[in-house]
Structure 1
Amino acid sequence: MTLQQCRYVVAISEHKTINRAAKALFVTQPTISKAISELELELGIHILNRNNKGITFTEAGRDVLFYASMLLEQASAMSAHFKAKQTRQLLQFSITSQHYTFAVEALAILVKRLAAPQYYEINFREDKSTTVITDVADGISELGIIALTDNNRLFLERIMKRKALSFHALGSTIQHVYLNAKHPLAKQCTITLEALKPYTRYTYKKDDLPQTFTEEGNHLKYAEKIVYLNDRATMDKLLAETDGYNIGTGCLARDPYQHQLRVIPLFDGCEMTIGYVTRRDVSLPNYLSNYVNALQAAVIESLPSDITPVDTDLKN
Structure 2
Amino acid sequence: MTITQLRYVLAIAEYKNFTNAAEKCHVTQPTLSTQIQKLEDELDILIFDRSKKPIELTDVGRKIVQQAKNIVNESDRIKDIVDQQKGFIGGEFKLGIIPTIMPTLLPMFLKTFIKKFPKVILKIEEMTTDDIITKINDGHLDAAIVATPLKIENIKERVLYYEPFVGYVPDDHALSSLKKLTVSDLNLDDILLLEDGHCFRDGVLNLCNSIKDGTIDKFQLESGSIETLIKLSNEGLGMTLLPYLHTIDLNENMQSKLRYFSPPPPAREVSLIYHKSELKMQIIESLHKVISSIIRGAIAFQNVQIISPLPK
Question: Which structure has the larger Rg over C-alpha atoms?
Answer: 1
TM-score normalised by structure 1 residue count: 0.49
TM-score normalised by structure 2 residue count: 0.50
